[in-house]
Amino acid sequence: MSRPVIGIATQTLEAIPGELPPCWIMGQKYVHALRSSGAIPWLIPLIPDDLSTLREIYQRLDGIFLTGGVDVDPSQYGEHRASYCGRTDPPRDAVEIQLIRWSLVDRKPILAVCRGIQVVNVALGGNLFQDVASQRPGSIKHDYFPTKEAPARDYLAHSIRTMQGSRLRAYLGEAPVLVNSMHHQAIKNLAPGLVVTAVAPDGVIEGVEGSNGHYLLGVQWHPEELTDRDGGMQELFTSFVRAATPVNP
């Protein structure tokens, strides 16, 4: 067997006059989590207007990993932007949605975290809360974003409950699991082809999987920050890499 190549779409960093031209960036922790799990990470440029090149990149991949980042633009699910919607990156939306749709056809494994679970839902026809606190009264706090005063990305903010028979239950166990939480958007209406596999105490969807056996797994938290302390979080990456590993004839 050879090591699987896992694609990771980047995110736009706007030009800083006098300092930087426009850049494509991605957090190192995602790359290291995949690399240490046996994968070869491949960072993907945001080129939605060059589908032939994007397709050539896609064809060299064994799986797709979708990371956290800025908000999914509401235009992608047919809504107008509300005042509480944050910064968006339309080229990233377009590239990730295209990669997801190609992967669904070819049944390439997908692992999605935080923003990733949201863009999967949108790609399959669902929509999002543009801001959980504003649109879902009674919700607990989910937006524990790091600051200079409290920079920890591994802070365990709340529990989740996994569903019986799910991959998440197999990896994380039956008992409530504590997770970190760095999001203000979340799945609103679940897309066809997905099933809910984890929820927060307030009912916000924290995990989804594909309904047809395809390895499609999304979580609303950031397991890449927890792999060194929690074997179940590491298993999310290990199982994904295993599913994406090509078997030589």
CB 24 within 8 A of CB 82: no
Calculate Rg over the CA atoms of the chain. 17
Neighbours of 75 (CB within 10 A): 12
What the block records as the tokens of 90 is 């339309």
Active-site entry in 96, 209, 224, 225: 224
Q: How many CA atoms, within 13 angstroms, populate the side-chain half-sphere of residue 235?
A: 10
Q: Is 222 among the catalytic positions?
A: yes
103: CB partners within 8 A, 6+ apart: 58, 63, 64, 109, 110
Q: Is 174 among the catalytic positions?
A: no
Give the residue from 124, 93, 96, 90 showing the smallest Cα distance to 7. 96
Query: Can you tell me the distance from the alpha carbon of 183 to that of 158, in angstroms, rounded to the nearest whole number?
Result: 13
Q: How many CA atoms, within 13 angstroms, populate the side-chain half-sphere of residue 79?
A: 16
Neighbours of 2 (CB within 10 A): 10
Q: Is 149 among the catalytic positions?
A: no
Q: How many CA atoms, within 13 angstroms, populate the side-chain half-sphere of residue 209?
A: 19
Active-site entry in 114, 142, 183, 209: 114
CB 99 within 8 A of CB 58: yes
Active-site entry in 85, 184, 222, 235: 222
Residues with catalytic function = 114, 222, 224
